[in-house]
């Protein structure tokens, strides 16, 4: 979800009025399809807002298992530090060093990953356009995840199971999230995405 700037600031304002802490999952921030759509980081909107980020999504470095929490609220930060000290006082040192190296090269990494996502989302868009009687979606404006709807009468769980068995392509049915619609989760942030989409296309033509 990438809200408008007006919605984003209004949400932060409502949380402030209610005395609530607004927790913002920003793991795909910096991977907007149009950089002009980039929002302010949540932590910049007030002491009551917390931003959560990781190296595993926009940076594509899941193996490092490095993330962060940012807030201007001193009480929230102090509470988070206490929890971290209790559960895991420190990360693996090699992962921390590699994380610093990655952040120093953030511009190059993010440029590469945005280009990959833009190429792949266009392929997903094209695939769905070739099967308008069977698939539809709201093309996302950021990140590397979409949630198309299967228009067939076949339950999406069965569709995904057959796709896995016949083509070796794994899609996650929306029922995993408790979603009542006939949707599935598709990722398009990997180098192998075009080959997987080719298999999905072949499956849709024959299934």
20 three-class SS: coil
Bridge partners of residue 52, in order along the sequence: 25, 69
> Which H or E run contains 100?
helix 93-104
Domain region containing 63:
5-104
pLDDT digits (tens, 9 = 90+) for 35-78: 999 999 999 999 999 999 999 999 999 999 999 999 999 999 99
pTM of the model: 0.89
Alpha carbons 87 and 81: distance in angstroms, whole number: 10
Q: Contact 200/169 with Cβ under 8 angstroms?
A: yes
Distance between first and last Cα of the chain: 32
* Last residue of one domain, picked from the residues 104, 131, 150: 104
| pLDDT band at residue 86 using 50, 70 and 90 as cut-offs | confident
* Assigned token pair, 100: 């610093």
Mark whether 186 and 95 lie in a shared domain. Answer: no
Please count the structural domains in the chain: 2
């Amino acid at each position: 979800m990438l809200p408008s700037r007006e919605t984003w600031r209004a949400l932060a304002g409502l949380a402030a009025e209610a005395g609530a802490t607004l927790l913002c999952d920003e793991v795909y921030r910096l991977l907007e399809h149009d950089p002009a759509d980039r929002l302010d980081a949540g932590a910049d909107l007030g002491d009551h807002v917390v931003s959560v980020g990781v190296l595993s999504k926009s940076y594509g470095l899941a193996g490092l298992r490095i993330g962060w929490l940012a807030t201007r609220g001193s009480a929230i930060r102090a509470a988070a530090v206490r929890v971290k000290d209790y559960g895991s006082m420190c990360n693996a040192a090699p992962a921390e060093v590699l994380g610093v190296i990655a952040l120093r090269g953030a511009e190059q990494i993010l440029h590469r990953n945005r280009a990959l996502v833009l190429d792949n989302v266009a392929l997903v868009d094209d695939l769905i356009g070739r099967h308008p009687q069977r698939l539809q979606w709201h093309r996302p404006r950021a990140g590397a995840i979409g949630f198309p709807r299967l228009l067939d009468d076949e339950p999406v769980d069965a569709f995904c199971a057959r796709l896995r068995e016949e083509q070796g392509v794994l899609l996650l049915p929306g029922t995993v999230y408790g979603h009542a619609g006939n949707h599935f989760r598709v990722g398009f942030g990997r180098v192998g995405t075009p080959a997987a989409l080719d298999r999905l296309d072949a499956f849709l033509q024959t299934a």
